[in-house]
Structure 1
Amino acid sequence: MARRAISLLLPQWSARVFSVELERAPSYFSIGLQGKHRGDEDVPRVFSKVQNYERCYSLLVCGGDRIRLAKCYGELQEKLRRHLPPECVLSPMTSFLPNVKDSLIKGYFVKDNSQSPSASEGLLRDLIQNDPVLVCSYSRGEDGQQWTQRLWSPDSQTHIDMSKASYYVVPSEAPEYHPSTLNIINSDVFYSLEEACEVLKKCGDIIPEAASVMELLPSRAEARSKPDFPVIVIEGLDATGKTTLTESLRAALGASLLRSPPQCLSPMRPSFDREPPLIRRAFYALGNYITAEQIGQEGTKTPVIVDRFWHSTAAYAIATAVTGAVSDLPAEGSDVYRWPTDLLQPSLVVLLTLDPEERKRRLRDRGQGETQEEQELDHNQLFRLRVEEAYRRISGPACVTVDASPSADQVLRQVLLLIRAKCHL
């Protein structure tokens, strides 16, 4: 499988761009024919940062179906962390054809400063023999600046150059679109019940809980008409007051209160949270469809309040897939922000916002454990800004932002005014 993947990639290899995560933002380089090195301006940023490292490697996961690729990508990280010498530093990386959809290949970049390359290279040789992994090594030239890329053969214990030519790494301008944005649709965010189901159907042999999730799904996917009563979704980061507000709205409006993901999926969440993004995102997408079925049932009798819905699923997935600044997100109006055509649309979506320091104080006061994404929100300001902006860009319907810093009673009064104005309650 790895040999076939290489044969498919080789004709396009020199057209590919490589991206390595440095300081939470992508740094790009490409490859070119060997030529005279003209100075520091010809050294890609990622290599100008590795002057203290003797060797570097890239590992790209390619070949096979996307379920196998997703699992292999997650398992590869664990193998590298467990078996590489402690002197090695690991960074996420990708390879892609600029502005070409679904050309993204994910992997890792390894900086190696161990005393002997044998431990690292022994592991890498084992990987290319047994896993769908493409390995390249990078060596520094005699001038100490120019770096050369060489591709390893999957059926040889030595590495070879490509097409009998020498290649060296050169800087590459950032592409028009962040590379991950061309890979989001139905990989990080799902836009139909059918697409999300397709992922879980293929997971039955590796995740026993997948069958249980499938049994809970609606019998068919279809565009749903509005229930008889309004449906109000409350969105926001943790500790913005969603639980307090939703409980108060239930009492004030005599409404039903639902949550997404629904309670029936709680026993399965720990298993899926350990899975790679493709599988984990499909699971949470299906949770929205189960919640939508519950909304349809409750909405025939009373107004329905929903604690998080599709906005959360999409906003966190988009912000995780696209690293870097807010400007790297897909532009407003992009298809990645569109509402799924077969998912029930709420009457109103309220997004609670809060000053970051106040939100962190509330989290500390609650004394509850944080999810991995919540920890990332606290440690990475850019991630928080991307999540908040993704929330704002989702349409069908768009969020109405409400400041959650006043007292709970004041926030409740403001939201009730919104509901009465927009939902005629």
Structure 2
Amino acid sequence: MALAGRPPRTLLLLRCLSVQLCQRRGACAGVMALDRCLALELPDCSLAYFTLCVDTSGNADSPEGTSWDPRLAAILGPPGRSYSLCVPVAPEVDCAARVGAAKLHQHLLRQLRRSPFQHCRLTRLLSYRPDGQPGGAQHGFLLRDPWDRPDTRRALDEVLRACQQAPHPHLGEFETDLHGQLWQRLWALQDGRRRQVGCARVTPAQEPALHPVLPDLPSSVVFPNREAAREVLEACTAFIPEAQAVLHLIDRCPKHVQKGKFPVIAIEGLDATGKTTVTRSVADSLNAVLLRSPPSCIGQWRKIFDDEPTIIRRAFYSLGNYIVASEIAKESLHSPVIIDRYWHSTAAYAIATEISGGLQYLPPAHHSIYQWPEDLLKPDFVLLLTVSPEERMKRIEGRGMEKSEEEAELEANNIFRQKVEVSYQRMENPRCRLIDASPSKEKVLQTVLNLIRNN
């Protein structure tokens, strides 16, 4: 209880903050980047955009063409308290730095899902450069504590203290001043103690024409060529011994391979769409060789790489496609080839994972991200098996199999499933031909065979 005639502690803190914010312009200007914007994923799968302005003049006017999103005040302001955690990445970074940032991001996610953060709401937060240049995306989180508990702040300090190696995450804390303006204070641990290293006013930002993470996808998850994916695993050999084994196998594969005279058909689809059954039946009917991606020579390490951050996991699957390509080149000299998943799967899941928000934020149709890599052997034909969500779930429950992380996400997150499906359908060069896999196995097989023979 406050003493008579003395304002409450919260009011004192806000007054002190207002004074500090007006005095720290020179100190903050060298710390806070003027060209950073942030995209926050909201519960309805929309994105809210804002920026951090170091102008402490008190001018609350929004940039031209923007308006304040009231949902931001509800999420960043009182009651309760919100914190931001972002993994800094310099604009000009090497592959090892990207891998290190991804590992730290994964570590933070696992820490923030544990006690004492279980009472908090965790959402995705992306810091990016508004100029749309690649190399500027910084992934992070917004942690919302609806009760503003002191143990949340102490636990965040412990999370920062445990991050001994660079890059060190940035911890932001949002405050509302006496005038109702929203601010972010930036903290860092120095000599084991939390110190304020920056402050900035939260202002609205214009929505970019395309999702802000899109320029970074070719260097992080949808690799345009074999060397880009190889570079990622090369950066992982120090802590993933199996990465060296994968690199040894990929280096034994010719860089330039050509398809033989027989047709090559890739069959894609989500789990439980009948893909495995159809590929086997089609291979038997056409007297074809059946291949799978990732191939069996690296399939034994799938679980290891599935537990790694997206950039590492996708590099593993991408290189698996190039190993399969060398097998296709050899087998298609003598017989038709059927492939159970290929590049389209690798790209569709990667895009759906990295693009936050709903379907409206996916790259538009005909974007270059949907184009087949120029150095990867192309199939002649790609079929995409589809079933209704209800039928797919019925089949999954009937199998009683352990779900992969991606399969669990498909089941729990309807938006994620739709993003995967739409990404599949936007793939080009070659595109996917849709096949309704709901009827009986015999009817689906006949439909597939007729389509292949007619093309």
TM-score normalized by the length of structure 2: 0.83
Cα separation, 2, equivalents of 1:365 and 1:121: 43
SS of residue matched to 1:182? helix
Call closer, same or farther: CA 1:130–1:254 in 2, change over 3 Å: closer
After superposition, residues 144-155 of structure 1 pair within 5 angstroms as 145-153=180-188, 155=190
Aligned pair count?
A: 410
Q: Name the counterpart of 2:81.
A: 55
Which aligned pairs between 1:208-223 and structure 2 lie closer than 5 A? 208-219=241-252, 222-223=255-256
Q: Paired residue for 1:27, among 48, 70, 88? A: 48
Q: TM-score, normalised by structure 1?
A: 0.89
Q: CA–CA distance in 2 between the matches of 1:115 and 1:199?
A: 40
RMSD, aligned α-carbons: 2.5
Quote the Cα distance in structure 1 between the aligned partners of 2:305 and 2:127.
27
Is 1:356 matched up with 2:377?
no
The one-letter amino acid paired with 1:28 is Y
Q: Which of residues 80, 91, 109 is equivalent to 1:77? A: 109
Structure 2 letter corresponding to 1:126:
R
Which residue of 36, 40, 57 maps to 1:16? 36
Question: Quick one: which amino acid aligns to residue 115 of structure 1?
Answer: R
Q: Which residue of 1 aligns with 2:240?
A: 207
Q: Hey, what's the Cα distance between the residues in 2 that align with 1:130 and 1:250?
A: 51
- Structure 2: how far apart are the matches of 1:290 and 1:82? 39
Deviation at 1:51, TM superposition (A): 5.1
| Structure 1 residues 405 and 43: alpha-carbon distance in aligned structure 2, compared to 1, 3 A threshold | closer
Residue number in structure 1 paired with 2:290: 257
Q: What CA distance in whole angstroms lies between the structure 2 residues aligned with 1:115 and 1:305? A: 57
1:292 positional shift: 1.0
Tell me the distance in 2 between the aligned counterparts of 1:52 and 1:368. Answer: 45
Structure 1 position 85, deviation (Å): 4.6
Q: CA deviation at 1:413?
A: 1.3
Letter in 1 for 2:50: F
Q: How does 1:157-306 map to 2 (within 5 A)?
A: 157-160=193-196, 162=198, 167-219=200-252, 222-306=255-339
Deviation string 1:127-146 (CA, Å, 9 cap, x unpaired) is: 67654212222112235x43
1:142 maps to 2:178: yes
How much does 1:336 deviate? 0.7
2:357 corresponds to: 324
CA distance in 1 between partners of 2:32 and 2:255 (Å): 40
Name the CA distance, whole Å, in 2 between partners of 1:262 and 1:303: 17
What displacement does 1:393 show? 1.3
Letter in 2 for 1:74: Q
Q: 1:62 to 1:229 in 2, by over 3 A?
A: same
Distance 1:225 1:12, change over 3 A: farther
Given that 1:43 and 1:169 are in contact with CA atoms closer than 8 Å, whether structure 2 keeps it comes out as no
In 1, the alpha carbon distance for the partners of 2:337 and 2:383 equals 13
Distance verdict in 2 for CA 1:161–1:213, change over 3 Å: closer
Q: What corresponds to 1:3 in structure 2?
A: none
The letter for the 1-side match of 2:174 is: Y
- Would the alpha carbon gap of residues 153 and 346 (structure 1) be closer, same or farther in structure 2, given more than 3 Å must change? same
**Displacement after TM superposition at 1:161 (Å):** 5.6
Picking from 157, 162, 170, the partner of 1:122 is 157
Moved more, 190-199 or 108-117: 108-117
Residue 223 of structure 1, CA deviation: 4.0
CA contact (8 A) 2:48 2:69 kept: no
Distance (Å, rounded) in 2 between the aligned partners of 1:174 and 1:221 = 44
Q: Aligned partners of 1:221, 1:150: CA distance in 2, in Å?
A: 53
- Go from structure 1 to structure 2 and tell me whether the alpha carbon gap of 1:151 and 1:49 turns closer, same or farther (over 3 Å shift): closer
Offset of residue 53 of structure 1:
4.5
Give the Cα separation in 2 of the matches to 1:218 and 1:353. 36
Distance in 1 (alpha carbons) for counterparts of 2:78 and 2:394: 40
Determine what percentage of the aligned residue pairs are the same residue: 39
Larger radius of gyration: 2
**CA distance in 2 between partners of 1:273 and 1:194 (Å):** 21
The CA distance in 1 between the partners of 2:208 and 2:254, in whole Å, is: 37
Distance 1:52 1:412, change over 3 A: same
Distance 1:404 1:264, change over 3 A: same
Distance 1:52 1:416, change over 3 A: same
- Structure 1 match to 2:402: 369
Cα 1:83/1:300, change in 2 over 3 Å: same
Q: Distance in 1 between matches of 2:369 and 2:80?
A: 41
User: SS where residue 15 of structure 1 aligns?
Assistant: coil
Out of 397, 405, 409, the residue aligned to residue 442 of structure 2 is: 409
Matches within 5 A, 1:380-419: 380-419=413-452
Which stretch of the first structure deviates more once superposed, 200-209 or 106-115? Answer: 106-115
Change (3 A) 1:138 1:114: closer
TM-aligned CA deviation for residue 108 of structure 1: 1.6
Three-state SS of the structure 1 residue aligned to 2:123 is strand
**Residue type at the aligned position of 1:137:** E
Unaligned 5+ segments in structure 2 are 1-26, 90-95
Q: Which amino acid letter does the alignment assign opposite residue 67 of structure 1?
A: V
Corresponding letter in the other structure for 1:30: T
Q: For 1:58, what is the secondary structure of its paired residue? A: strand
Cα deviation, residue 125, structure 1: 5.2
1:118-171 deviation digits (Å, cap 9, x = unpaired): 51453255267654212222112235x432112224547454364xxx632122
Q: SS state of the match for residue 414, structure 1? A: helix
